[in-house]
Amino acid sequence: MRIRTRLLILILVILVPAFIAAVLAVWYVYQEERLAQETSVKEAVRAFALVVDNELETKEGILHALANSPALAKGDFETFYRHASSLAPNDETAIVLIDLDGRQLINTRAPLGAPLPFRRASNIDGLMKRDGADRTLVSDLFASAILHRHDFAIQVPVHVEGAIRYYLSMGVNAATLQNVLREQRFPAEWQAAVVDRAGRLVARSIDPDLYRGRSVSSVAMSHFAARREGVFSNNNLAGIPVQAFYSTVPASDWKVVVSIPIADLRRVPLHAATFLAAIMAVLLVLSSVAARWFARRAAIPIEYLGRSAEDLGAGREVRYQPQGVIEIDAVAQRMAEASRQILTAQGELERRVAEAVAASERAQNALVRGQKLEALGRLTGGIAHEFNNLLQTLTTALQLASLTANQPKVLSLIDTCKRTVSRATALTTRLGSFGRVQDARLLTVDPGEQVRGSVQLLRGVLRQGTRMEVQCADDVWPVTIDPVQFDLALLNLAINARDAMPDGGRLAIDVRNCTLEPTLERTGGDYVRVSVIDTGTGMPPDVQARALDPFFTTKPPGQGSGLGLPQAYAFATQSRGWLTVTSAVGAGTTIDIYLPRSHQTLSAIAARADGQTPGRGSGRVLFVEDDPLVREAVVRGLEDCGFDVMVAADGDKALAMLDAGLDADVVFSDIVMPGKVSGIDLAGILHERRPGLPVILATGYTEQRAVIPGVQVLAKPYEIDQLVELLSNLSASR
């Protein structure tokens, strides 16, 4: 197989996962855009319902003002008629005074004293029987007995001397609600409507006069009856497939409905996904072209070496031509020297050929190593949460299995699986290098001791001839950090220093306290400064300006990923500090990491023995976890250890169970869950409602921070005996 083919296969191994990730990203963007659009429409519909409710409350306020009229209390109907007519000066509304027998006494649509209809045209009488008379009632749509059009009525009781004497009603032309619809400024393709309890259209944004009074579909009515708000798919009255969003008007139990053509709903997320897909497709095409170009360029110097070797084998003089690759140029030059000396001495020829072959093998090995490092440098965090949920299930299941198994061979296999899970846990920690520092992994440590503990690891990556010096002040303040990410940052900086000192040099690490004044770019206060200083080649200003950009590197292709210094910068930032770079060509580079002083006591790092048997506990635990595999494993483990476990699949259900009277001794919840209430939200709500109820949170990876007093956080995967001990202590203390 040709070297060019091997290079192309290696690059394709990198591009294929990138293409799969691009497809998943497009799908994710489409789903997120669609959900965001639906959420926005639901909020708009709720606001629409409140606007309609406010309109009804305005008219109710007019009726209450009239009900308190002194003329009405005195029985002066003539004065009251003039007052009521001034508040209903046109045919759009009518004020009607009704006695307790249901007879109309005054109707502003008819002259005072004119014959009036005896029976109501609305369903107010039925509402009075169902809901009572001593309250405000809003009728459904009905045909006006005087003007013969669609109206609705609002009725309030009139109290005189503490007893109901009359009923005061306002008949309103349903067409007046069209103004409310127009004020909402819904898009022209959207169809908004107001529907009464019986399912008849009171107002409609499109062709209102044609559809007013018509009933909505049975599908819509079944949804209206089941829930106060929601979403369903249906064909509207014009036969167009739509997705209908509805909500309830509080004062009247009417419904407001916004129907959006399904094609319009899909257009925005589809455009966003298409745009992202186009960008990713262009990037993949460019990557493929670049990969082909790189493979071709990488193969040319090696092919040149092959031709030179052929000339050497045939006894012809090899003409040296620089190829721009240090290792290959060195080999070619030596081969040229060998070809010149072969004419004078056969023995010298054999020696030169052996050197050329050895140099060629070293060059090829260096090239393959560089390609592998380039591939590994593209791996980063982003999937730690899902992996940790899987590892949590495996950790709990393996520990439970070790308690029930008694065969030595099975126990040995379980122990092997546990060690494998530990290795996978360390890998997921590395994957999260560029994510937010996880609270569950934060420890308050002595930075000087942390640096001294990393010295052996750092020496292992330095070249022979490089001197390493570590100086830590005696009174260094503690800091709260993720120790694993801190060690990784130091390792990346040591590797960069090594590459900047090809001939060896000095690498110094200095840790000391400093107090800084606040500036526009940072806050002041007490900090611990960790300085990493090398005597390497340094960086020119243009390179220093981009040194913190991810994937930017000045190293030859295949020798660097451009993620080392950005990882250290991300660690400093996520630890609420910062990183500075000071460098000059020929004078070396200094990297300063500033970490804020912590006033907490140093964290106790307890050593846990493998195979430790979980203790026994008691009490009722409310376990909140959305992953069914984790629920199944952890519930089994807690129940085997003596706990009474109640399970909720998300925060909303957990709150509902507690509000329904569930008496729990401890709440143990995941942080990242579907629904409106996350684990941190649940802990905050319980801190306010039940301040004495202990809460423990668990996380595999999250962007949220748990800052609620008294709430403890466990990092996934956790050992079941660790959880049992914590639950037992909290349950017993309560």
Question: What pLDDT does 348 receive?
Answer: 58
Mean pLDDT across 704-711: 67
Question: What pLDDT does 365 receive?
Answer: 33
Stronger pLDDT, 241 or 352, i.e. the higher one? 241
Helix (H) or strand (E) holding 183: helix 177-184
Calculate helix-pair angle for 3-67, 177-184, nearest 10 degrees.
150
Q: Is the peptide bond before 89 cis (omega within 30 degrees of 0)?
A: no
Question: What pLDDT does 422 receive?
Answer: 59
25-63 pLDDT, tens digit each: 767 766 777 788 788 888 988 998 899 999 888 888 988
Complete DSSP assignment for 531-568:
EEEE-S----HHHHHTTTSTT---SPTTS--S-HHHHH
249-266 pLDDT, tens digit each: 988 889 999 988 887 777
Name the range with the highest mean pLDDT among 173-177, 265-269, 706-710: 173-177
Checking if the pLDDT of 412 tops 70, the result is no
Mean pLDDT across 400-412: 60
| Mean per-residue pLDDT of the chain | 78
Range of lowest pLDDT (21-35, 338-352, 378-392, 464-478): 378-392
Name the range with the highest mean pLDDT among 381-390, 439-448, 650-659, 717-726: 650-659
Question: What pLDDT does 478 receive?
Answer: 93
- Proportion of the chain above pLDDT 70, given as a percent: 76
Checking if the pLDDT of 229 tops 60, the result is yes
Cα-Cα-Cα-Cα torsion 562, 565, 568, 569, nearest 10 degrees, comes to -100
498-548 pLDDT, tens digit each: 888 888 889 999 999 999 888 877 788 999 999 999 998 888 988 888 888
Checking if the pLDDT of 326 tops 70, the result is yes
Question: What pLDDT does 373 receive?
Answer: 28
Checking if the pLDDT of 440 tops 70, the result is no
On whether the pTM is more than 0.75, the answer is: no
376-399 pLDDT, tens digit each: 333 434 455 555 555 556 656 655
Rg (CA), the chain: 39
Complete DSSP assignment for 355-405:
HHHHHHHHHHHHHHHHHHHHHHTT--SS-HHHHHHHHHHHHHHHHHHHHH-
Question: What pLDDT does 25 receive?
Answer: 74
Range of lowest pLDDT (118-122, 267-271, 487-491, 604-608): 604-608
Question: What pLDDT does 620 receive?
Answer: 85
642-684 pLDDT, tens digit each: 888 888 888 889 888 888 888 888 888 888 888 888 888 888 8
CA geometry: angle at 152 spanning 228 and 223, to 5°?
A: 20
- Proportion of the chain above pLDDT 90, given as a percent: 10
Checking if the pLDDT of 606 tops 60, the result is no
Range of lowest pLDDT (428-437, 456-465, 586-595, 689-698): 428-437
**Res. 345 pLDDT band, cuts 50 70 90:** low
Range of lowest pLDDT (9-13, 342-346, 363-367): 363-367
Question: What pLDDT does 609 receive?
Answer: 44
**Res. 562 pLDDT band, cuts 50 70 90:** low
Range of lowest pLDDT (389-398, 557-566, 577-586, 607-616): 607-616
619-632 pLDDT, tens digit each: 888 888 888 878 88
Contact predicate 483/443, CB 8 Å: yes
Distance CA 504, CA 464 (A): 7
Stronger pLDDT, 575 or 120, i.e. the higher one? 575
Question: What pLDDT does 508 receive?
Answer: 92
Pure H helices in 501-527: none
Checking if the pLDDT of 135 tops 80, the result is yes
The Cα diameter of the chain in Å comes to 139
Name the range with the highest mean pLDDT among 4-8, 195-199, 625-629: 195-199
Mean pLDDT across 279-293: 77
Domains and CATH numbers, the chain: 38-277 (3.30.450.20), 315-376 (no CATH), 384-432+611-734 (3.40.50.2300), 447-596 (3.30.565.10)
Checking if the pLDDT of 429 tops 70, the result is no
Question: What pLDDT does 387 receive?
Answer: 53
Checking if the pLDDT of 234 tops 90, the result is no
Range of lowest pLDDT (61-70, 125-134, 359-368, 479-488): 359-368
Q: Which amino acid is at 308?
A: S
Checking if the pLDDT of 432 tops 60, the result is no
Contact predicate 723/630, CB 8 Å: no
Sheet holding 712-715, edge to edge: 644-648, 620-624, 666-670, 695-699, 712-715
Give the DSSP letter of residue 676.
Answer: S
Checking if the pLDDT of 404 tops 70, the result is no
Name the range with the highest mean pLDDT among 163-177, 324-338, 667-681: 163-177
Distances (CA, A) of 202 to 195, 196, 198: 5, 7, 11
Question: What pLDDT does 511 receive?
Answer: 94
